[in-house]
Amino acid sequence: MIRTRFAPSPTGYLHIGGVRTALFNWLLARQSGGSFILRIDDTDAQRNVNEALQPILDGFRWLGIDWDEGPEVGGPHAPYYQSQRADLHGAAADRLLASGHAYRDYARPEELQELRQQAERDKVAFVYDRRWMAESDEAARRFEAEGRVAVVRLKMPREGECVIHDLVRGEVRVEWASEQDHVIRRADGSCLYHLASVVDDHELQITHVVRAEEHLPNTPRQVFILESLGYARPIYAHLPYVAEPGGTAKLSKRKLKQYLKNPDFAALMRHGEAIAERASMTVDAETFNPVIVDFYREIGFLPDAILNYLLLLGWSLDGERERFEVDEMVRLFTLDRVTRSPASFDPQKLMAFQAERMAGLPIDSKLELVLPFARLAGWVSGPEGEERVRKVTVAAGERIRVAGDILDFGFCFVDDAALTYDAKAFEKRILKPAGAVDLLERFAGRIEAITPWDAATIERELKSFCEQAGIGIGEIIHALRVAVTGTAVGFGMFETLEILGPEAVRARIGQAIRHAGKVDR
């Protein structure tokens, strides 16, 4: 049975590239009827962020990437925190020492640095000559008498090569002589990632190690460790990294300012910031970043849209088809269709996936998504408020690309007296056109007679008004929109008027007329 794993370090929040790697592992396990394990690689105590762990778990749950074994789930191979498996790692280090595949090294950092600098001066590759290696207890005591402390290093081969059969990269060959004697246990007794990861993969019975390509250079030393310990070698697959927008470098959560130079990335960020501001959200600067999964959850993306987009960052079915439901992803995914080249993160394309999926939702499903944002804005206090949100959601249609976009239509919810005007729109549509104020005042006088108050009747009556006044509908409808909404953009004008109701429309027209009289022209 195939067993895959994703092993994040809680040193930061869930990166969009990490999610792509986790998705591929999850799909492989689900497609084969295997198991997907979540393990927390928290051996780097100095960099671990406790606050980052829960968002990682919550982010996976929101995306629908569930795990069969791991934190908050348990399983037969617990614990699933690497820091809690230190005894196993230490025992493995002792076995490597006993078999001669590792040694105690008493070199001081400054001594090693001098050797490296000498190699650089001599223009040769640095290879540690093991001069402070202790292969016997007597040698160890001698070094310790000098006040030295030992780390444990791998005793890497100096001849031959490591051959790795990678399901994405093909056959990879690495000369053993190019590998350093890597430290696997620190002087304080704690073990490093390379050893801990190999031991835990073995103990968790991982059959396929599917990870980002930046781990490929780690693989020869890990192969040496596992073979020295007598472990079976897992199947490797190193995925291309997710590249930055419009570039080839790896996407990084620390390059937000740089990415904002990309117009599509900047537009996505502004979109999110506008939603956060309208909802009065308190956002964390570290997580409110389109490279972090939490950003998308906070502004109302659909998990399936994100998964569909991430699937195509390094994988293709036939080079043409792009839209997949999750069950189709599971059924069709195979590692042999993963490309070797990095795929650039494209915010515009991600938004297109999102907008298409949002547009296809039934109204009840869409309402369930937008209501939390309406509540954040204080618009919903009961069934009446929910019904108005429903009407706005229906009328807005495809203008709601993410759930937080419901907040664009605050003019449908604010008190009439609290309505504010876009100054440029007010100038252009109400103050500048000759007779606009008079037309608004005359139409307001006809509002009481419009019955029933629905979009079709309002449209018919406004057109009749224009015919009688000898004007085109454009001469009043733009002024009417600004008067009742405060802005020049929105969904259908007649649907807007229906939702607002005759009393609010009349009151707002009157307010706009009074405002026009006060504006210094």
Catalytic residues: 253
Exposure string over 119-156, b if 16+ CB within 10 A, otherwise e: eeeeeeeeebeeebbbeeeeebeebeeeebebbbbbbb
Rounded distance between C-alpha atoms, residue 18 and residue 210, angstroms? 12
Closest CA to 85 of 24, 164, 7: 7
Angle, CA of 171, 167 and 8, to the nearest 5°: 115
Helices and strands per DSSP (H, E), number in the chain? 21, 12
Between CA 370 and CA 402 the distance in angstroms is: 8
Matching residue, tokens 């400054």: 110
Is the link from the previous residue into 79 a cis peptide, with omega within 30 of 0? yes
Residues whose CB falls within 8 Å of the CB of residue 437, separated by 6 or more in sequence, listed in order = 430, 479, 513, 516
Instruction: Name residue 334's amino acid.
Output: T
Amino acid letter, residue 521:
R
Phi, psi of 398 (to 5 degrees): -75, 0
Residues 405, 388 contacting (CB under 8 angstroms): no
The number of C-alpha atoms within 13 Å of 196 and in the hemisphere containing its C-beta is 24
DSSP letter string, 450-480: --S-SHHHHHHHHHHHHHHHT--THHHHHHH
C-alpha 303/C-alpha 296 separation (Å) is 9
Q: Which contacts (CB < 8 Å, 24+ apart) does range 274-283 have?
A: 274/407, 275/299, 275/300, 275/373, 275/402, 275/404, 275/405, 275/407, 278/377, 278/404, 278/407, 278/408, 278/410, 279/373, 279/376, 279/377, 279/404, 279/407, 280/376, 280/377, 281/376
* Six token digits for residue 293: 């999964």
45: amino acid identity, one letter:
A
Residue 277 sits at the vertex; the CA angle it makes with 271 and 278, to the nearest 5 degrees, is 90
DSSP 296-361: HHHHT--HHHHHHHHHTSSB-SSSS-----HHHHHHH--GGGB-SS-EE--HHHHHHHHHHHHHTS
Distance, CA of 332 to CA of 317 (rounded, Å): 8
Say how far apart CA 107 and CA 183 lie, in whole Å: 12
Longest dimension (CA), the chain: 110
